[in-house]
Amino acid sequence: MSLISYNIIYSKRKTVALIIETDGTLSIRAPRRLGVEKIKAIVKQKKNWILKKVKEKEKRKRFIPKQFTEGEKFLYLGREYELNFVDARLRNVIFQDEFIVPVLKPAVLKKMLEKWYIARAKQVIQERVKVYSDKIGVIFSKLRFSKAKSRWGSCSSKKTLSFNWRLIMAPLEIIDYVVIHELVHILEMNHSKKFWKKMEEFSPGCKRSKKWLKDYGYLLNI
């Protein structure tokens, strides 16, 4: 197991959970009564599974950073559009089946594009939340947008919904899946059979969408 570094996090939980973090390391959440030797035995027993998951995580990390050059392609609602520079004093991105932007330094251009994406994410996701909250028959308290690196959405016990703005780069079907997922959590604050039954009712392709995010979510970035 020298190939994998891991740390143990003790808590009041009753079971052991193996979690592969975004950096490929292994975190083990365990009950306080469980000794180190017992945990080592569990890690050894799960060695093949851990190595497989680490490889999957590393594969998803292979995102090539954008260079912000002429003709470079950026995702929006599941499709790629080219970056087109114009010699003009634009203050905002113009989208017309391509991203029209002024000639600026990459760091400045990145902030400009991010601002555009966030604005579009707020508009589109708010609309989808309204559509599906009515369909499911639930009421949420607040809607927020985040820059989380490893979470696409969340629902708090106070019914506050949070969504990652990078979702706006995904196909609408994927956005709907995440929206429905968090709205269903208002009814079921877990991932029980009852939860997934509700998911299948309002998002028949939820398993496919979940796999899409797992396989291609790393591409939703700039």
Domain C-terminal end among 19, 37, 60:
60
Tokens 């208002």, residue located: 186
Residues 56 and 146 in one domain: no
Q: C-alpha 35: how far from its chain's center?
A: 34
Distance of alpha carbon 49 from alpha carbon 107, whole angstroms: 40
The number of distinct structural domains making up the chain is: 2
Judge if 42 and 85 occupy the same domain: no
Residue 98 lies in a domain: yes
**Are both 55 and 77 inside the same structural domain?**
no
Give yes or no: residues 207 and 165 share one domain.
yes
Q: Which of 174, 146, 207, 204 is nearest to 75 (CA)?
A: 174
Within a domain: 65: no
Three-state DSSP at 129 gives helix
Does 78 lie in the same domain as 43? no
At 126 the three-state DSSP class reads: helix
Give pLDDT tens digits along the chain (222 positions). 445 678 899 988 889 999 887 667 889 999 988 988 999 899 989 998 988 888 877 766 666 789 999 999 999 999 999 999 998 788 899 999 999 999 999 999 999 999 999 999 999 999 999 999 999 999 999 999 998 877 999 999 999 999 999 999 999 999 999 999 999 999 999 999 999 999 999 999 999 999 999 888 989 999
DSSP letter, residue 218: G
Range of the domain at 158: 73-219
Helices (H) and strands (E) in the chain, counts: 6, 10
* Residue 200: how many other CB atoms lie within 10 Å: 12
Q: Are 44 and 102 part of one and the same domain?
A: no
Task: Output the pTM of the full model.
Answer: 0.75
Question: DSSP letters of 141-194?
Answer: SEEEEE--SS-SEEE-TT-EEEEEGGGGGS-HHHHHHHHHHHHHTTT-SS--HH
